[in-house]
Amino acid sequence: MKKELVSGLPKLWAHNPAERLECPGCQYPLITRIVYDVIDELGVEGKTILVNSSACGYGIVLTTSVDAMFPNHGQGIDVATGVKRLLPDCFIISFGGDGDVAAIGAGAFVNAAQRAEKYSMIMVNNGHFAMTGGQLAPTTLMGQVTTTSPEGRGPAMGYPARMPEMIATVQGTAYSARGAANNPANFLKTKKYVKKAFQKQIDNVGFSFVEFLSACPTGWHMTPQESIKWVEEKMIPTLPLGEFKDVDTLD
Partner 1 sequence: MAKGEIVIDEMYCRGCGYCADFCPKDCVAIQEDKFTPQGYPLSSFVRPEDCTACGICSFMCPHHAIEVYRYVEE
Q: Which residues bind partner 1 (CB under 8 A)?
A: 1-10, 13, 17, 20, 22-30, 33, 181, 183-184, 187, 217, 224-225, 228
Of the pair 22, 45, the CB lying nearest partner 1 is at 22
CB 77 within 8 A of CB 55: no
| Spatial CA neighbour of 93 closest among 45, 50, 146 | 50
CA gap 124, 108 in Å, rounded? 17
CB of 21 to partner 1, least distance (A): 11
CB of 14 to partner 1, least distance (A): 11
CB of 4 to partner 1, least distance (A): 5
* Torsion sign across C-alpha atoms 178, 184, 189, 192: positive
Residues 6+ away with beta carbon under 8 Å from 223: 25, 217
CB of 215 to partner 1, least distance (A): 9
Of the pair 173, 218, the CB lying nearest partner 1 is at 218
Of the pair 22, 165, the CB lying nearest partner 1 is at 22
CB of 226 to partner 1, least distance (A): 11
Of the pair 69, 222, the CB lying nearest partner 1 is at 222
CA gap 19, 206 in Å, rounded? 34
CA gap 107, 152 in Å, rounded? 27
Of the pair 169, 225, the CB lying nearest partner 1 is at 225
CA gap 64, 37 in Å, rounded? 12
CB 161 within 8 A of CB 139: yes
CB of 182 to partner 1, least distance (A): 10
CA gap 141, 151 in Å, rounded? 13
Continuous segment of H or E residues that includes residue 97: strand 91-97
Of the pair 146, 190, the CB lying nearest partner 1 is at 190
